[in-house]
């Protein structure tokens, strides 16, 4: 049971609402965007950018989020292969940088919305930190899917936020989109999840953060692809809902808007 300590309230019509908007919300990924990570340019820039992201994540997590990570050792079993980590999307900045604290910085990869690449200074560097932007042009979806498969072949940890939009400090789990779960079925890669929870600090209004890692998720491979996707999604949803109950502080209250 969350203890509400804040007067800030956000109203929503549905769980698909985007409650946080960027200045470049309408940014479109170039139809000629290069998903390849085999170029010399990428290989030269990736290590320093990943290190910078780790440093930002460590500083931000330690001094602003008061971050604790539980069960991180579970990921040691898959350090020599590619795998997926699904998470709840609750920190606009934290979700992007704290992932570098969960796995070795050279393994980090993540699916992001294209408008993130338009963020001043940081945006253009994101691909070198492992992110894979969703294409605006639907004709590029094959290239996008191949990029995901390539990351898994290269033994990366692919982070996915299946709630789609970020809801800052939300303490529950929104419905997870089924389409986000076809990747492990296609690649036969292990699946884990991470759940971000919030607790009251001794000092300050903002909560401290605890991330719980769970997995691997087992599922029946002897069924249709859609059935496999549903089974993985349902198991991840159940695990994350269980962990979300460990949140004890509601910094922002979310209430459905009454349209009547």
Cβ-contact 168, 91 below 8 angstroms: yes
- Cα–Cα distance for residue pair 189/173, rounded to 1 Å: 24
Taking only the tens place, the pLDDT of each residue in 54-75 is 999 999 999 999 999 999 999 9
Task: Find where tokens 């795998």 sit.
Answer: 83
Distances (CA, A) of 83 to 41, 61, 71, 118, 153: 25, 24, 16, 28, 9
- Cα–Cα distance for residue pair 87/90, rounded to 1 Å: 9
CATH 3.30.870, domain 3-256, yes or no: no
- Cα–Cα distance for residue pair 7/141, rounded to 1 Å: 42
Mean pLDDT of 106-121: 94
Which residues have CB under 8 Å from 33's CB, separation 6+?
133, 135, 140
Which residues have CB under 8 Å from 120's CB, separation 6+?
none
Largest CA distance in the chain: 58
Domain ranges of the chain: 3-256
Residues in the chain: 260
Taking only the tens place, the pLDDT of each residue in 137-162 is 999 999 999 999 999 999 999 999 99
Q: pTM of the prediction? A: 0.94
Report the pLDDT value the prediction gives residue 1, as an integer from 0 to 100: 56
165: nearest Cα among 9, 61, 10: 10
Report the pLDDT value the prediction gives residue 213, as an integer from 0 to 100: 99
């Amino acid at each position: 049971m969350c203890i509400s300590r804040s007067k800030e309230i956000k109203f929503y019509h549905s769980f698909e609402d985007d409650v946080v908007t960027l200045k470049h919300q309408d940014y479109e990924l170039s139809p000629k965007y290069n998903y390849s990570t085999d170029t010399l340019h990428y290989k030269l820039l990736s290590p320093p950018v990943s290190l910078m992201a780790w440093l930002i994540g460590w500083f931000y997590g330690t001094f602003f989020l008061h971050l604790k990570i539980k069960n991180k050792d579970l990921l040691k079993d898959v350090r020599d292969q590619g795998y997926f980590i699904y998470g709840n999307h609750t920190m606009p900045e934290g979700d992007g940088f704290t992932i570098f604290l969960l796995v070795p910085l050279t393994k980090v990869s993540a699916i992001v919305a294209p408008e993130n690449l338009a963020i001043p200074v940081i945006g253009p560097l994101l691909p070198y930190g492992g992110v894979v932007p969703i294409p605006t042009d639907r004709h590029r979806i094959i290239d996008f899917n191949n990029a995901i498969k390539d990351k898994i072949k290269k033994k990366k940890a692919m982070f996915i936020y299946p709630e789609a939009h970020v809801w800052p400090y939300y303490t529950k789990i929104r419905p997870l989109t089924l389409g986000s779960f076809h990747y492990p079925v296609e690649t036969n890669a292990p699946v884990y999840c991470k759940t971000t929870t919030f607790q009251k600090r001794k000092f300050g209004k903002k909560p401290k953060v605890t991330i719980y890692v769970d997995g691997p998720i087992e599922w029946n491979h002897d069924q249709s692809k859609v059935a496999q996707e549903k089974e993985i999604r349902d198991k991840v949803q159940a695990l994350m809902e269980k962990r979300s109950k460990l949140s004890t502080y509601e910094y922002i209250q979310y209430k459905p808007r009454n349209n009547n």
